[in-house]
């Protein structure tokens, strides 16, 4: 039957947050606003944020993310505050290998919401989705070695630093070789948390 028949919720909740699959018309406008307001910070770490993409490009990207969600190729969620409905950021499980039952978690947030624990809360919920509902054997989080804020999230959630991959990637602007920290969580370690 394959992964296409696996039931995966299109929204997830935490105490403070609602994570939902991008499918509403206008999601691109909301995400674009966050990128515009956070471009100075995001451009240090994310290739897509080297310039502010047009709203239409983001809208198209989000609709493709919805298609990939339905095809069970990746699971992108937009993160909103439950009380205020303000957009906080984006998180995903991607690079999924259904044979091994593994995936990689990625995330970014609007700069005005960083430092409040929202992203840690969202990634904890995504980790629960991967390990409990999808029965993954392994989840990874990769981040640039210089991105200390991003490293704090897997470390708080019990992911183990498994490797420092030297000169593994290019910087977001494509100009410099960078090292990547690779954090991993396997089911046995998740069950102990």
Provide the terminal-to-terminal Cα distance of the chain, rounded to the nearest Å.
32
User: What pLDDT, on the 0 to 100 scale, is given for residue 24?
Assistant: 82
User: What pLDDT, on the 0 to 100 scale, is given for residue 2?
Assistant: 81
User: What pLDDT, on the 0 to 100 scale, is given for residue 52?
Assistant: 93
pTM attached to this predicted model: 0.94
The residue among 151, 158, 155 whose CA lies nearest residue 180 is 151
User: What pLDDT, on the 0 to 100 scale, is given for residue 193?
Assistant: 66
User: What pLDDT, on the 0 to 100 scale, is given for residue 30?
Assistant: 96
Query: Which tokens go with 108?
Result: 């970014």
User: What pLDDT, on the 0 to 100 scale, is given for residue 57?
Assistant: 95
- Written in H, E and C, the secondary structure of 33-69 is HHHHHHHHHHCCCCHHHCCCCCHHHHHHHHHHHHHHH
Query: Which tokens go with 192?
Result: 């102990």
Q: What is the full per-residue pLDDT of the chain (193 aa) written as tens digits?
A: 688 999 999 999 999 999 999 988 889 999 999 999 999 999 999 998 999 999 999 999 999 999 999 999 999 999 999 999 999 999 999 999 999 999 999 999 999 999 999 999 999 999 999 999 999 999 999 999 999 999 999 999 999 999 999 999 999 999 999 999 999 999 999 987 6
**Using alpha carbons only, how large is the chain's radius of gyration in Å?**
16
Q: How many CB atoms lie within 10 A of CB 80?
A: 19
Cα torsion angle, 105, 52, 70, 98, sign: negative
DSSP state for residue 26 in the 8-state scheme: T
Query: Which tokens go with 169?
Result: 């990637």
């Amino acid at each position: 039957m394959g992964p296409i028949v696996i039931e995966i919720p299109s929204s997830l909740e935490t105490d403070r947050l609602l994570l939902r699959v991008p499918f509403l018309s206008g999601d691109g406008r909301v995400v674009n606003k966050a990128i515009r307001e956070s471009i100075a910070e995001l451009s240090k770490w994310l290739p897509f944020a080297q310039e502010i993409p047009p709203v239409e490009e983001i809208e198209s990207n989000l609709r493709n993310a919805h298609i990939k969600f339905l095809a069970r190729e990746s699971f992108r969620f937009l993160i909103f505050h439950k009380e205020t409905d303000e957009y906080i950021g984006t998180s995903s499980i991607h690079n999924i290998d259904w044979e091994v039952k593994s995936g990689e978690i990625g995330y970014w947030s609007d700069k005005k919401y960083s430092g409040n624990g929202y992203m840690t809360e969202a990634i904890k919920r995504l980790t629960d989705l991967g390990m409990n509902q999808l029965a993954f054997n392994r989840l990874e989080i990769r981040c640039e070695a210089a991105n200390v804020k991003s490293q704090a999230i897997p470390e708080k959630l019990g992911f183990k630093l498994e490797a420092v991959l030297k000169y593994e990637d290019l910087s977001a602007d494509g100009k410099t070789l960078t090292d990547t920290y690779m954090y991993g969580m396997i089911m046995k370690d998740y069950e102990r948390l």
